[in-house]
Structures are given as C-alpha cells and as structure tokens.
Amino acid sequence: MTDFTMSTDADGVATIVWDTKGKSMNVMTLDAWDELEALVDQALAEDAIKGVIITSGKPGSFAGGMDLKVIAKMKEMAGDNPAKGLFDGIMNAHRIMRKIERAGMDPKTNKGGKPFVAALPGTALGIGLEIPLSCHRIIAADNPKAKIGLPEIMVGIFPGAGGTTRLSRKLGAMAASPLLLEGKLNDPQKAKAAGVIDEVVPAEDLLSAAKAWVLSEPNIVKPWDEKGYKMPGGAPYHPAGFMTFVGASAMVNGKTQGVYPAAKALLSAVYEGALVPFDTALKIEARWFTNVLMNPSSSAMIRSLFVNKEALEKGANRPEAADQKVTKVGVIGAGMMGAGIALVSALAGIEVVLIDNTQEAADKGKAYTTAHLDKGIARKKVTQEKKDAVLGLINATTDYDALKGCDLIIEAVFEDVGVKAEVTQKVQAVTGPDCIFATNTSTLPITELAKAAVDPANFIGIHFFSPVDKMLLVEIIKGKKTGDVAVAKALDYVRQIKKTPIVVNDARFFYANRCIIPYINEGIRMVKEGVEPALIENAAKLVGMPLGPLQLVDETSVDLGVKIAKATKAAMGDAYPDGEVDEVLFWMFDQGRLGRKSNAGFYAYDDSGKRLGLWEGLAAQYPVADDQPDLTLVQHRLLFAQVLEAVRALEEGVLEDIREGDVGAILGWGFAPWAGGPFSWLDMIGAPYAAERCDQLAQEVGARFTTPALLREMADKGQDFYKRFGPDAQAA
C-alpha cells in the first residue's frame, strides 16, 4: 500500500492512516481509492473492529484534494467513450464513500453498522473534505493555520465526490452556497461554526477524542437516511427554498455571465438532487460532474491556472545557473510602480534600498508600504511587530551609495530613454557591472536600454503590472544580449515575491501589452463605426473578459493611450494601422475626458469617483448606427484581436512557450479565464475554424484579422497548439 494503512488497537478501534508516499500533503489518485476500499471492507468484515478513525500521517494536514494533474487528464484517460468512463469512475468513488456512510447498517431498519470518524490534523480540501463528509463525525485539531473547504469551483469544476450533495443536505442550500459556489475556506473554528465539521479539539487530543467518540455507541444514521428527512432551510418546492434557488441562480449568472459551466452545473446538481432520494441525488451529481469534465473549459482552466502556472513558478524555463536568491534589492524611482515593488520585496523579507530624486519622493514611496501594513493591522491580518520588521527592511533615500551590496537593481523611473540611461550608469558606478540590472519599462526596447549598461548580459526587463501588490504576473524580458544568470536572477526573485513569471523575448510591447492594446483599439474602433458602446462592453463581458475595452481605457487612462499611440506611430511611420482609433482617443483627450482619474471618460462618474454608466455625450460625436452587428461578430472581433497577436508573438519567437502565452494572458490582462488562455481557446474551436473565421473577418472587417501563416499551416494540417507546442510535444 502506498497511500492508506490500517491498524487496530486492543479496544477494537481501527485507525486508517492516509499518508501518500513522497508528498508533503496527501492527494487522491485513482489507485488510492482501491486501497481505501479494501481497508474499509476489512474493517467492516472483522468482528473485532468496533469502529474506525480515518486520519492522516501528515503533520498539520489531512489532504489537499484530488491530484489536479489527474483531473486535467481524466477525460483523456477515460477510454473510447469518455463520458461513460468518467461517470463510471465517479460512481465508483460514490459507492466507496456510501459504503463508509452506511457502514454495514441494515438498509431497511438502519440498525447495526460501525461508526467512522474523520480526525483531521489540519487542512482538508476538496476530496480531503468529501471523504470526511461521508463519515459519521468530523473532528479537527485546533490548528488556526488549517484550511477546510471545497475550493473546486475556483479551478473550473465543482465538488463531485459527494461534497455538493452532502453539504447541501447537511447545511441547507442557503448556508452551503458560499462554501460551494465561492469555494470559501475556513479555519477549524469557523468550519465548526458554519456546521461543516462537528468538533474542534486540541491537536494532542485529536485521536483520543476520536476514539472516545467511536466507543460511545453513537447514532450513526445520517439525517438523509432517516425517514421524513427535510432539507434545512427548505427544499426547492418549499417557499423559503424556492427563494434561495431563484436568488442563487440570478447571482451565479450575474457573476459568471454564463461562461463558467461549473457554477451552473453545481447549482443544477443541488436543485435537482434536492428533489429526489439521496442515492439518486448522488447519481445526478455524478452526471453533472461528468458534464463539466467533458466541457473543454474545465480541463483548459485546470491546465493553465494550476498545472502550468505551478510549473512556471517552479522554474520550468529557468536556465541552468546557481541559486540567485536576492537578499538586497535596489529600487530606483519611488513612484507608483517603485513603491509597489519595494512593498512586495520587503514583504518577502528582502532588504530594499528605495531611491528617488528627493528625500520627500523616496519617503512617499515608502509610505505606500506603511499604508498597506496599516490596512492589514486594521483587518487584524498584520501585527505591529510584522509592520516594524517590514518597514525596517526599507531604506528610503537619495543616496546611491546605499546601493552597495545589492544583488539586484530594479529601475522604475520615468519612461524616457535618456533618464533611464543616466540612472543605469549612476547605479553601476556604485554596484559595479556584475550586479543584475532590471528595468520595469512598459514600452521601451530592452536591447536599446541595455546599451547604457557596462555589460548587457547583466541587463534584463522585469515588467510588473499595476497595482504591483495585486497583480500576479511578472513578465521577464530578455534583450538580445541578456545572459542566463540575469534570467535566473529575475526568476528566482519573482519566486521569492510569490508571483508567476513568464519569460519572453524583446519586441514592441513585449507580450501582454502587445495583446491587450489591440483589444482596447478594437473597442474604440467600433465606437467610431457607430457600434452601440453598451453592445461593445457587454459583448466583452459575455465572453468572459473582466472589463470591457472602454472601461479598460478609462482605468488605464486616455492620456496613456494617446502617449502610446504617438510613440507607436513615430516608430512605425506609414505602416501605422490605428489612425481611426486615434481620432476617437485624441478627441476624448481634447475634451479632458482622461478616464477614471479625471472622473470622466468613456464612462460617466459621480463626484466620489463611482462609475455611473456609459457617457451619453459620446453618441453626439460618434452617432450610433441604425444597423448593429450581431453579438457574436463583436465578440469575435474582440477575441481575435488579442488571440491573433498571441499567435504572431509565438510565430515571431517573442513567446517561446505557449504555456506562458496562456498563463500570462489570464494573469496579466484577465483574458477569458474560462477559455484557459488564447492558445487553449484556439484549440477549443480548432485551427481550421479559426482560420476560416479570420479569413471572413479580414475580408469584412479589416486586414488586421488576416490569418497568420502559422495558424494557416496548422489549419491545413489539422494541428492543435498543445499537441504541437505543448511540453509533452517538446519532450517527445
């Protein structure tokens, strides 16, 4: 046995210990189910065994859930008829847990049976809570760091091993909904208060409390196996229950815009399951779970948001180089970005020298960290000692000599080649040429900026997104001469500050901005054409973009758009394609409507800055046309504008790994997460259809949609991106 073992004590209490070999936390695999069932059978068969404790051999945790790598591949592994294979596999898990729950009781009288208690030393997530929910009691150690809950919805699936049916019957649909629909996790005390678990005891008493309960001859019949069971809070046909389901359904559709299949399926499983006996409800749950696993969205989300994100964080693309852990970082420029970079570095325990032109500006940058920590103190998430320690790591100064001993410099001064070159030289006069120098530029070519460095091999781009403390992605950009140590340094630093890195080559706007600018431009272009602005914004949201393109311009500011447009036009000359966009953008700029920061933009705002709705004045300048395009056309224009840029970035070698293209798109600019990223989306719709659609768009809308050669070739050969460029293909 590699996962579960059982021993029985002199009092006849058996203890099944879950201890997955070679893992720091237990995860469920397909084989481990068989082991668990064999032990449950043995415990039920042996007369000497009076009851069973199921616990974990890992200190501080019970189990982290199902192995996500397995879930991502379950469909592929399910045989020729995957839906049937998946359904049968799920029903097998239900059967084993139902065996625990019924524990040998007489099916008619509910007499007999042996008590099963789950004893949780700590964290119990996903299936790690669904197994305990099938036991007759759940006792947890009083471990405030432990997280207990069903987070499946966060990865694009839902609790499909009985968690949905059991929790909604245990708590009622209303009380279960934040736990199921939002994947809310609780520490043991809060989990008990919410009714998810039954008892919390000091860690050292966990097993003795469990044993005492087993020997107490408890009633082990689950409420839903008793005659006359009623769902707490009312079943759907009860007036109170009816209200819950109407509200939950509206909330789910409002939040997901209908593009996340899992939330709807979950709600259907709860609703339909509530109308029938428990075993039928499990079957319904299994059918909906199969439906979700069959939807390509769930495997694409798991692949990008977990499997590949984790691989990138662990250094999938890190060159061979010694450990480059950063102990002292110099941040030059204490403005919006520099202040955020100082904050995340100090929070990671790195010593920070924060430099600006004046002491006042440097202090202002440090004050950002103070304000962040004060907020944490107000929310009881940060202690005064922690605040003192973090602030103690930041030296805000104008003195470049303080940079001595830094092993990484990140420059976030004005976006100006001259200013950046001067800073690079001034810094290197103190640090010497070997200290890795990074620029946080968002638009300037790294290869050009590297010319100011003594050794361009030690010069690199580390591109943060704003606000630095909230955005999870960091784009690392290699200039033509950037060396391996610089890349390793940047990756090790990003790992220290717990963000997700992608590594790309140097080209205009790198990767993320390159894809997001065409999205914004396509939205503005449609305004010029007379497309109803509300149609543009809603089309974007209905396809899973977090912000419509017009709202996004307001957030990032119209003047930034104007600045980027002017610089791009200067660089591209006659080839510049966005004159029509600029007409609208420059007009907005002339009206002083700069976006959220001026409380006026494509949207109207009230005095407190609250967004009210689309600005009506836009229609006077750009009248809405009588004929409006259909929703799908608007959506395809907005999606293909981004996706084709991603394909071109791959084609041109800016992107070296499509995993980075997908993960970077979701984390960097919120590209429709349900799709798993631009390349996953293309695989979903298929290269032949994508190329055909682009051909139509190129003809009807504009040449910017011309099918890139790579996509054309893949369409002709019937290839898909992950099969051709994914890690398995690379390894083969």
Binding site for ligand NAD (CB under 6 A): 332-338, 355-357, 361, 412-415, 419, 423, 440-442, 463-464, 466
Q: Do 136 and 116 meet the contact criterion of CB atoms below 8 Å apart?
A: yes
Least distance (Å) from ligand NAD to the CB of residue 355?
Answer: 6
With respect to ligand NAD, which residue has the nearer C-beta, 160 or 333?
333
Say whether 32 sits in a helix, a strand or coil.
helix
Contacts of residue 251, defined as CB under 8 A and 6 or more positions apart, other chains included, come to 181
Least distance (Å) from ligand NAD to the CB of residue 398?
Answer: 8
Least distance (Å) from ligand NAD to the CB of residue 646?
Answer: 19
Least distance (Å) from ligand NAD to the CB of residue 513?
Answer: 9
Least distance (Å) from ligand NAD to the CB of residue 317?
Answer: 21
With respect to ligand NAD, which residue has the nearer C-beta, 112 or 467?
467
With respect to ligand NAD, which residue has the nearer C-beta, 446 or 540?
446
Least distance (Å) from ligand NAD to the CB of residue 171?
Answer: 43
With respect to ligand NAD, which residue has the nearer C-beta, 67 or 356?
356
Q: Classify residue 144 by burial, with Cβ atoms within 10 Å: 0-12, 13-18, 19+.
A: exposed
Contacts of residue 566, defined as CB under 8 A and 6 or more positions apart, other chains included, come to none
With respect to ligand NAD, which residue has the nearer C-beta, 62 or 465?
465
Quick one: which of 305, 704, 257, 301 has its CA closest to 517? 704
With respect to ligand NAD, which residue has the nearer C-beta, 275 or 419?
419
Say whether 546 sits in a helix, a strand or coil.
coil
With respect to ligand NAD, which residue has the nearer C-beta, 398 or 706?
398
Least distance (Å) from ligand NAD to the CB of residue 502?
Answer: 14
Alpha helix segments (H runs only) across 275-416: 278-294, 296-302, 309-313, 336-347, 359-378, 384-392
With respect to ligand NAD, which residue has the nearer C-beta, 273 or 338?
338
Shortest Cβ contact with ligand NAD: which residue?
A: 335
Spatial separation of the C-alpha atoms in residues 671 and 221, rounded to whole Å? 48
Quick one: which of 247, 191, 190, 213 has its CA closest to 119? 213
Least distance (Å) from ligand NAD to the CB of residue 362?
Answer: 8
Angle (CA) 167 170 173, round 5°: 65
Instruction: Give yes or no for a cis peptide into 467 (omega within 30° of 0).
Output: yes
Going by DSSP bridges, is the β-strand pair 123-125/61-63 parallel, antiparallel, or unpaired? Answer: parallel
Least distance (Å) from ligand NAD to the CB of residue 373?
Answer: 20
With respect to ligand NAD, which residue has the nearer C-beta, 186 or 428?
428
Least distance (Å) from ligand NAD to the CB of residue 177?
Answer: 36
Helix (H) or strand (E) holding 51: strand 51-56
Quick one: which of 652, 731, 729, 726 has its CA closest to 308? 726
Least distance (Å) from ligand NAD to the CB of residue 459?
Answer: 15
Looking up tokens 């936390």 gives 25
Spatial separation of the C-alpha atoms in residues 207 and 140, rounded to whole Å? 10
Q: φ and ψ at 56, to 5 degrees?
A: -125, 150
With respect to ligand NAD, which residue has the nearer C-beta, 387 or 563?
563
Going by DSSP bridges, is the β-strand pair 611-614/603-605 parallel, antiparallel, or unpaired? Answer: antiparallel
With respect to ligand NAD, which residue has the nearer C-beta, 135 or 413?
413
What are the percentages of helix, strand and coil residues in the chain, rounded to 5?
55, 15, 30
Say whether 126 sits in a helix, a strand or coil.
coil
Spatial separation of the C-alpha atoms in residues 514 and 299, rounded to whole Å? 27
With respect to ligand NAD, which residue has the nearer C-beta, 280 or 357?
357
Quick one: which of 123, 159, 362, 165 has its CA closest to 263? 159
Least distance (Å) from ligand NAD to the CB of residue 445?
Answer: 13
Q: Do 702 and 528 meet the contact criterion of CB atoms below 8 Å apart?
A: no
